[in-house]
Amino acid sequence: TGMNPAFVRKRKNDAVSSPYENSSASRPSVIVNKLPKDDEDLIQATMMPWRISLCSAIEPLDISSCPNSFFRVLLSLQSHIKKFFISELPLVDCFSEELLDLIGEGTISELTFLHIANLYDRSSKSIRFSDDLIFTAEDLVNKYGVHVGIVRHLFYFLEQFQKTIDVNFDISIIGLIAGCVFFRPDRGSAVPNGEDLAKQIQIYDKYISTMRSYIERYRSFNKDLLTEVLLMLTSLRELSIEFKHQQVNQGLLSALVKSMNNHHEISPDMIQQLTLDHQFYQN
């Protein structure tokens, strides 16, 4: 099972029996059904923009206000994903542009970490954006101020991801994971309501169903793969929340330091926004 149709043996009843076989004897079929056309179309329509986003060069943004080079790379990567993946996703026409922006803001961190999982080099334990742009766990903590707990969580996820998924061979599965991440309807205040929520749930369920069918068809030898993929979705969600929570805390700390250095109070609007952000990422 799990082979391409061209290599799958014919059914016993359609084959010519050898002289030593009973032609009337029943024999279990080894035919594996092809995927429905709508599943194949969804796989291709999701996989191609994800592949393009991985293969295209990331254009660095001119962000003079962000001195931290690692965070500049992340912001550039997020812009890259929005341009090459999110805008080209199938079924996005079902939602308004405003709602897509809202969903995109809620999912961009997870998509960013999923993209990074394809750039992780297990041999050197580093994230390789290019030959000149390489980050190790020690770099992120000591040079760029990323919280040590988040770095441990991130590199553990990257290791587990590449132990489970072949990033060169399983691009279709990774594309489906990215589709699940974007359309998963559990974003707190970012979740649409009413008819839009029903559409989002329907699309997400379709992605999960297609993922299950694809794994049964092409990866049937790995009985635990679907469970492991679903666990990855949870890990991505947790990692994203931790990372955003740190960003909010750093934003509040930076505002306090800047206020103390300039000898003036933080504006009430800034305090309110930082508080709302903190409450959102705590939920």
| φ and ψ at residue 129, rounded to 5 degrees | -75, -35
**What is the dihedral sign for C-alpha 123, 127, 133, 139?**
negative
- Chain segment 146-196, per-residue pLDDT in tens: 889 999 999 999 999 999 998 888 999 999 999 999 999 875 545 567 888
The Cα 55–Cα 112 span in angstroms is 15
Longest distance between any two alpha carbons in the chain, whole Å: 97
Q: What pLDDT was estimated at residue 146? A: 87
* Across 77-86, 185-194, 208-217, 230-239, least confident range: 185-194
Contact status, residue 176 vs residue 207, Cβ threshold 8 Å: yes
The Cα 197–Cα 186 span in angstroms is 10
The domain locations on the chain are 36-239
Model confidence band, residue 79 (pLDDT cutoffs 50, 70, 90): very high
Q: Which two tokens stand for residue 96?
A: 């308004």
Q: Please enumerate in sequence order all residues whose Cβ is within 8 A of that of 90, keeping only pairs 6 or more positions apart, or say none.
A: 41, 42, 45, 46
Q: What is the mean pLDDT of residues 101-112?
A: 91
Beta sheet of 133-136, edge-to-edge order: 120-121, 126-130, 133-136
Decide if pLDDT at 201 tops 80: yes
57-61's contacts with Cβ under 8 Å and 24+ in sequence apart are: 58/129
Q: Please tell me whether residue 128 adopts helix, strand or coil conformation.
A: strand
The Cα 180–Cα 207 span in angstroms is 6
Decide if pLDDT at 257 tops 50: no
Q: What pLDDT was estimated at residue 71? A: 84
* Across 34-38, 85-89, 278-282, least confident range: 278-282
Q: What pLDDT was estimated at residue 168? A: 83
Q: Which CATH superfamily is 36-239 part of?
A: Retinoid X Receptor (1.10.565.10)
Q: What is the mean pLDDT of residues 1-10?
A: 48
Q: What pLDDT was estimated at residue 192? A: 62
Closest CA to 12 of 27, 22, 2: 27
Decide if pLDDT at 266 tops 80: no
Q: What pLDDT was estimated at residue 134? A: 93
Q: What pLDDT was estimated at residue 132? A: 86
**How many CB atoms neighbour CB 143 within 10 A?**
13
pTM, to two decimals: 0.76
Q: What is the mean pLDDT of residues 2-17?
A: 47
Q: What pLDDT was estimated at residue 243? A: 86
Please give the sequence-ordered ranges of beta strands (E in DSSP) within the chain, or none if there are none: 120-121, 126-130, 133-136
